[in-house]
Amino acid sequence: MNKIIVLATALLGAVVIANVSPELQAQDVKEQDVKTIPHGGANIMLDASAPDGIRPGGTLSQDLPAPKIARQRISAEPANRNYPEQPPMIPHNIRGYQIDKNFNMCLTCHSRSASPQTGAPMVSITHYYDRDGQALAAVSPRRYFCIQCHLPQHDVKPARGNSFKSIDTMLQQPAVE
C-alpha cells in the first residue's frame, strides 16, 4: 500500500512539474504562495476544493487535521436493510481484525462450522459459490474480503441531506394517480 502511495505521489509531482511553464520554474516561489500555475494561456488551480464539494480542504497546499473517528454503533439487533440484496451492516467493532489473504478474522465466528458454537449468523450460502455457480467447500475468494460489501455501523451526521426512502416506506405510501 505504501509503495502505491509513494508511486502516485511521485507521478502527480512529475505531471505538475512537467506542466509548469519555464517562467514559473525559474521563479523562486514558496509552495504555500502558489495558488495557480499558468499553463498554455490558462491557469491550473492547485487549491481547488475537494471534488465532491462536501469535504473541507483536500487541496495540495493545505494541511488539515484528520477528522475524529466516529463512534461505532454497537447493537445486538442488525440494522434494517433499505433495499433488496443490501449486504447486512456489521453490528460490532472490527477494529484490529485481520482480514487479508492469509487470514479472515470474521470467519472465526461466522463460518459454517463456527456459527453454531458462537451464535453468530452464518455467512450467506451465496458466499460459497464461485462465479460459475459451482458450490465450494470454503468461502469463495471473491467473497473472502468481507468489508468490500459489509460495513460497520457508525453514529455520524450525514454529509448532506437526502430524500431516500426505503422500499418498505414506498410500499406503505398510497398510490399516486
With a cut of 90, say whether residue 123 has pLDDT above it: yes
Secondary structure percentages of the chain, helix, strand, coil, to 5: 30, 10, 65
Which CATH code fits 68-158+166-177? 1.10.1130.10
Q: The pTM is what?
A: 0.55
Residue-range domain boundaries for the chain: 1-66, 68-158+166-177
pLDDT in tens, 76-109: 777 788 788 889 999 888 989 999 989 999 999 9
pLDDT in tens, 24-35: 444 444 444 445
Distance CA 87, CA 146 (A): 10
Region 110-130 average pLDDT: 93
Distance CA 92, CA 79 (A): 11
CA angle 4–141–98, rounded 5-degree value: 60
Distance CA 10, CA 8 (A): 5
